[in-house]
Amino acid sequence: MKKTPQQIARLFLGHIFLLAGVSKIGAYAGTQSNMEAMDVSGALDVTNIGAFETIIM
């Protein structure tokens, strides 16, 4: 019984990160401008956005 709440929590947590990643890929111009505002090169490609988010968060 204890595993069910943990699985639901993991599902919701994964959903948060999935939505964040999709929104960053879908609106790359906004992500790029935010990166440049924090003195990170905006020339980084889409595959590096997840690593950037991990560092900032």
pLDDT digits (tens, 9 = 90+) for 17-45: 888 888 877 887 887 788 788 887 766 66
Supply the pLDDT for residue 45.
61
Can you give the pTM of this predicted structure? 0.51
Task: Please state, in angstroms and rounded to a whole number, the distance separating the CA atoms of residues 21 and 49.
Answer: 8
Domain span at residue 51 reads 3-56
Supply the pLDDT for residue 20.
86
Supply the pLDDT for residue 9.
92
pLDDT band at residue 15 under the 50/70/90 scheme: very high
Following DSSP, what letter does each residue of 8-26 receive, concatenated?
HHHHHHHHHHHHHHHHHHH
Look at the chain and count its residues.
57
CA distances, 39 to each of 2, 16, 21 (Å)? 45, 26, 21
